[in-house]
Amino acid sequence: MRTQLSGQHEPLAAALELETFVEAASPSMMAVQIAIRELSQSHVPILLLGEAGTGKRTIARRIHERSSRRECEFSIINCAKVSAESFKQHAGPILCNGTVLFEEVASMDFACQLRFLESLTLLEQDGLHGLPGRLICGSERDLEAEVLSGRFREDLYYRINGLCLRLPPLRQRREDILAFTTFFLSKFAAEFGCSVPVLSEETRQLFCDYAWPGNIRELRDAARAIVAIGDESVAMRGLRAVLLKPDRIRPGEQVSLKEAERAASRQTEKELILSTLARKRWNRRRAAQELNISYKSLLYKLKQIGDSDFEAS
């Protein structure tokens, strides 16, 4: 079974990063899992609604893998990158087999929406039992509100919304946080060729209490930072700087854990410079030689960190 990205899309690796299904323990996601089992055996078009990072790709792929089309292609179309002119060339043909996920369908302009509707109408006329392929659409926006505001065609909305599945954000399914954490720690430990970190109770509690506005994607990045840095205490200094910012905890706000990785890396660099300066009795030229950087670079780093951190007795 192959996953095909048609048209102008992000790399295949990026598309597959979150495509691993983790069995849920939360009541809200257990209901979604039951719906997945039922929907996978039908041919009705599915609309997946949920915030960024809630796993719409993962759910779409899960439906495909449990369906009678599992041996056919699973394709992803990024609607934000498809124009009306390119739609017929790139998106139309793959609707004829397998399963197609149209991501962020609300981002289509009116011309592209019309071309999409026309393609669906033609395919349904040619097919014996509706569309020859399985249609799944995803959106971060509430499409009903988009229709009422006049930004999305009502006829297209009812054509793609055979059944709507709403994916809860991670803050509403806290019972699943540690399961995802364990999964991602194991995943990245295997990729980096190291042992799986065992998180402290303090870190586990922080993960459970945090609102995760970036949802599963943000949690994945946090786990990757911990594994990549290799020291939970060092990594968490950077992560806490991001996770505990008041303006980061507002639900629905997207947060990138790359900032946390950078903060943790800066903390590691600072500790290395401090320990080297201490061994060299605060001789900055000798410390620069041992650190294999220029004296000018060391002075610049000291200025970035703050001279107060490097006062010698």
Predicted pLDDT of residue 50: 94
219-270: pLDDT as tens digits: 998 898 888 888 788 777 777 766 766 544 444 444 455 555 566 666 667 7
63-83: pLDDT as tens digits: 999 988 888 889 898 988 888
Distance from C-alpha of 131 to C-alpha of 123, rounded to nearest angstrom: 6
Distance from C-alpha of 263 to C-alpha of 237, rounded to nearest angstrom: 8
Under the phi-then-psi rule, with left for phi > 0, alpha for psi from -120 to 50, and beta for the rest, what region is 230?
left
Predicted pLDDT of residue 289: 85
Same domain, 159 and 177: no
Instruction: Please state whether beta strands 134-139 and 46-49 pair in parallel, antiparallel, or not at all (unpaired).
Output: parallel
Q: Is 295 inside a domain boundary? A: yes
Distance from C-alpha of 33 to C-alpha of 21, rounded to nearest angstrom: 10
> How far does CA 101 lie from the centroid of its chain?
16
Task: Tell if the pTM clears 0.75, that is, is over it.
Answer: no
For residues 270-289, average pLDDT: 77
Mean pLDDT value across the chain? 79
Same domain, 116 and 249: no
Which of the listed ranges 5-9, 189-193, 232-236 does the model predict with the highest average pLDDT?
Answer: 189-193
Predicted pLDDT of residue 179: 93
Which of 168, 190, 223 marks a domain boundary?
168
Same domain, 143 and 16: yes
CATH number at residue 236: 1.10.8
Same domain, 126 and 191: no
CB atoms within 10 A of CB 286: 15
Tell me: pLDDT of 305 over 60: yes
Which of the listed ranges 14-28, 65-79, 178-192 does the model predict with the highest average pLDDT?
Answer: 178-192
Tell me: pLDDT of 285 over 60: yes
CB atoms within 10 A of CB 34: 10
Q: Is 275 inside a domain boundary? A: no
Q: Lowest-confidence range among 20-29, 89-98, 163-172, 296-305?
A: 89-98
CATH number at residue 147: 3.40.50.300
CA angle 149, 150, 154 (to 5 degrees): 110
For the chain, give the percent of residues with pLDDT over 90.
33
Same domain, 160 and 183: no
Q: Is 222 inside a domain boundary? A: yes
Tell me: pLDDT of 310 over 60: no
Same domain, 17 and 128: yes
Same domain, 223 and 297: no
For residues 206-218, average pLDDT: 90
Tell me: pLDDT of 309 over 80: no
Distance from C-alpha of 14 to C-alpha of 118, rounded to nearest angstrom: 30
Q: Lowest-confidence range among 80-89, 256-265, 267-276, 286-295?
A: 256-265
Confidence of residue 101 (pLDDT cuts 50, 70, 90): very high
Predicted pLDDT of residue 237: 74
Same domain, 19 and 160: yes
Tell me: pLDDT of 103 over 90: yes
Domain span at residue 7 reads: 3-168
Same domain, 13 and 111: yes
Q: Which two tokens stand for residue 287?
A: 């410390």
Q: Is 75 inside a domain boundary? A: yes
User: At 303, is the secondary structure helix, strand, or coil?
Assistant: helix
Better pLDDT: 166 or 26: 166
Distance from C-alpha of 143 to C-alpha of 136, rounded to nearest angstrom: 14
Same domain, 11 and 105: yes
Number of domains in the chain: 3
Which of 142, 168, 194 marks a domain boundary?
168
Tell me: pLDDT of 275 over 60: yes
For residues 74-93, average pLDDT: 79
Predicted pLDDT of residue 4: 40
Same domain, 161 and 287: no
Same domain, 202 and 163: no
